[in-house]
Structure 1
């Protein structure tokens, strides 16, 4: 005779051992104390290329994926990360990034000035190298101003590199940036076999400034950025392009950011894809003023709501700087701030 459903009780229920979810969940995360430190050098479709123990006999390239516990945290070239799993670097091996070390700097931009969405570029750099040609294509000072804003806010030093000075004298362009006290290097084509590098003059001065530092190169397409990198890091083989005769703009030759170690040096240089705009929608005007600590202290004497720009009524900065009350700051510092503040308030980065 068959048993009816009401004849069953709890003793008839069998629980499979080891079923998923049988163990209580915990919020404690593994500490990964055995994680290996590596530097991220490139990102490609959800995979990060890293270097472990650079400059030592154990140096090796390791491909890694993001661990689930990191969520959507951005991981960019220059980041120092912790790896677990297979960190051998063998073909087909894949490690996991479980930790992002605290960053010394984080360079970002936005698509447009009215777009506050951040686009992370690089991390842990201490020098931004702004590369622009004095001709072919024509230099655009607005791009440099915008890069300077981002560099100041991120706490990164800036260096201006002018290329193709054999086509036009750079003096007129440099004059407009003289009040900023911006460090610069001028390079030109035309060196022979007996020069510091065949085809490029001024390369030694650039090497000197990059030595022992982590630098990022930023510039429009076609300004000669990849040519400089191929000379600085032989064997890199970054693609070089030409300038369109109709538009006067270069073609994108580098499709992704790549960090490279300078030969016989502890320094790193990160190449970024050629950019056409550098939006500052993620930057707050107050952040810019805070970057000029000496002027920020004086600005407290300005009327409420003062923009501190040249046409601002009753701005106290002019008189205070002229009277020498700015300490180490002088008129050049005020000119620099106002130039960058004006660039920050522009709404269309494409019209530079």
Structure 2
């Protein structure tokens, strides 16, 4: 045996010397579910016994079971958020003490997201696969914050979700002045007040997957408790001195609607960064205006101070509704943080 052979037999084996198999586990028979809440690395998932809606959204949710699961190591850095449609491996019976594994995340049909601030490039995904964003706004106590409403609208259009304004406490003030601001955008709305009839709101939520967002103290939890018996979402009061509500919901949770559909309740939000929103995607939410902006110069932001913007020419020629253009530009300004910071205190 040569000296080389003597030394070689004492060398450490190289890493990954064992050939990797091409065979991978098949999860064709894995249970399909979706995530309804998350808490410290554990995910509560819902397995629906009914028929899938077939449109990439969540199933109707009239019958099924809850299963506790953890994310499988093979998913690596793949994020799992509330609303995600997933595959579960392992024990998916939902019995006490059982734990399944999330082994696959289906492509998302919609994704509601925000950034921490307008100059923060890091996106924070909030909810997946919802089709409606219900923006809950009190017409008084606390006073409505139009800058924050604009930001919610911009996020909804960016995510491809239908926005709905839900006005609360309409027994305290006239909702018409606030509605007039958003009428040019064609945003639908419902008006509610404490102990009032919620039939119109229930109709708007029926068989949809709706996300409730709003400033603290606007009455989101009160609405949830009225619509879903037994929800028991904590409610709070508005501080008389500051005019602000206290955060009562601390986590995002998906709740089944009695007549079909899902309601996703989120914690009260005081800021909503839009650094992730693309102006070109925002204009595409308004087909009539998007057609006009085809004549804009390259890189046009379509803002009020944008040079040679085709929207200005269309308004001057009577080919575009000036109120609608002004409303759209308010959303653009909100994305850039100008209107919000000019009219509201930092939190």
Q: Give the Å deviation of 1:320.
A: 2.5
Q: Which of 340-349 and 108-117 deviates more?
A: 340-349
Q: What residue is the counterpart of 2:219 in the other structure?
A: 224
- Rg larger in structure: 1
Describe the SS at the equivalent of 2:284: helix
Change (3 A) 1:22 1:238: same
Q: Secondary structure at the match of 2:178?
A: helix
Give a deviation string over 1:298-339, Cα, whole Å, max 9, x none.
22323444432234343222333565656xxx4454233212
The superposition leaves residues 219-262 of structure 1 with CA deviations (integer Å, 9 ceiling, x where unpaired) of 01110000000111110100000111222111111111010110
Q: Distance in 2 between matches of 1:331 and 1:80?
A: 42
C-alpha displacement of 1:344: 0.8
2:36 is matched with which residue?
41
2:150 matched residue in structure 1: 145
Of 308, 311, 317, the residue aligned with 1:317 is 311
3-state DSSP class of the match of 2:167? strand
1:251 paired to 2:246? yes
What SS is found at the alignment partner of 1:69? Answer: helix
Which consecutive residues of structure 2, in runs of 5 or more, have no partner in the other structure?
A: 51-60
The Cα offsets for residues 169-212 of structure 1, whole Å up to 9 and x where unpaired, read as 111221222222210011012xxxxxxxxx2x241100000001
> Could you say which residue in structure 2 is the equivalent of 1:135?
140
Deviates more, 1:170-179 or 1:252-261: 170-179
Distance verdict in 2 for CA 1:317–1:38, change over 3 Å: same
Distance in 2 between residues matched to 1:57 and 1:125, nearest whole Å: 17
1:269 to 252, 258, 263: 263
Unpaired segments ≥5 residues, structure 1: 1-5, 14-19, 190-198
TM-score by length of structure 1 reads: 0.85
Q: Is 1:334 equivalent to 2:337 in the alignment?
A: no
Matches within 5 A, 1:1-352: 24-26=19-21, 28-54=23-49, 59-189=64-194, 199=195, 201-265=196-260, 267-321=261-315, 323=317, 330-346=321-337, 352=344
- The separation in 2 between residues aligned to 1:57 and 1:130, in whole angstroms, is 25
Q: Is the 8 A contact 1:42 1:259 kept in 2?
A: yes
Kept after mapping to 2: 8 A contact 1:149/1:344: yes
Describe the SS at the equivalent of 1:216.
Answer: strand
Give the number of aligned pairs: 325
> Are the aligned partners of 1:113 and 1:348 in contact in 2 as well (CA < 8 Å)?
no
Q: CA deviation at 1:79?
A: 1.2
